[in-house]
Amino acid sequence: MRDETKTMEFYKKVYAQDSYFIENAKRRIQRVIELKGPDFKTIPSCYRSISHNYFHRFYLSYTMGMSHEELIPDLRIYIENGLKGCNGSVYGDLENILYLVIVFGFNEYTDTIKEIITSIKDYQDAYMEQLYQFIDNSFEITDEKLFWPKECKPFIEVIELAKTDKTAAVQRLKKFVDKQWFKTLKEGIITNTSKCYRGFWCIEAAALVKALKLDDTELKECKYYPYDMAHFCGA
pLDDT tens-digit profile of 4-42?
999 999 999 999 999 999 999 999 999 999 999 999 999
Rg of the chain taking only CA atoms, in angstroms: 18
Q: Is the pLDDT score of 122 beyond 60?
A: yes
User: What SS3 state is found at 102?
Assistant: helix
Q: Is the pLDDT score of 190 beyond 80?
A: no
Q: Is the pLDDT score of 88 beyond 90?
A: no
Give pLDDT tens digits for 146-156.
988 998 999 99
Pick from 125, 123, 114, 183: which is nearest to 152 by CA?
A: 125
* Secondary structure element (H or E) that encloses residue 230, with its range: helix 227-230
Question: Which residues make Cβ contacts (< 8 Å) with residue 132, sequence separation at least 6?
Answer: 98, 113, 114, 117, 139
Report field, pTM of the whole predicted structure over 0.85 = yes
- A 10 A CB-CB count for 4 gives 9
Q: How large is the average pLDDT for residues 95-99?
A: 95
Per-residue DSSP letters for 164-176?
A: T-HHHHHHHHHHI
Give the residue, 81 or 142, on which the prediction is more confident.
81
- Say if residues 181 and 156 touch (Cβ distance below 8 Å): no
Long-range contacts of the stretch 12-20 (C-beta < 8 A, 24+): 12/64, 14/60, 14/195, 14/196, 14/197, 14/198, 15/57, 15/60, 15/61, 15/64, 17/196, 18/53, 18/56, 18/57, 18/60, 19/57
Give the residue, 87 or 199, on which the prediction is more confident.
199
- When mean pLDDT is compared across 19-28, 72-81, 178-187, 216-225, the lowest value belongs to 178-187
Task: Specify the pLDDT at position 175.
Answer: 96
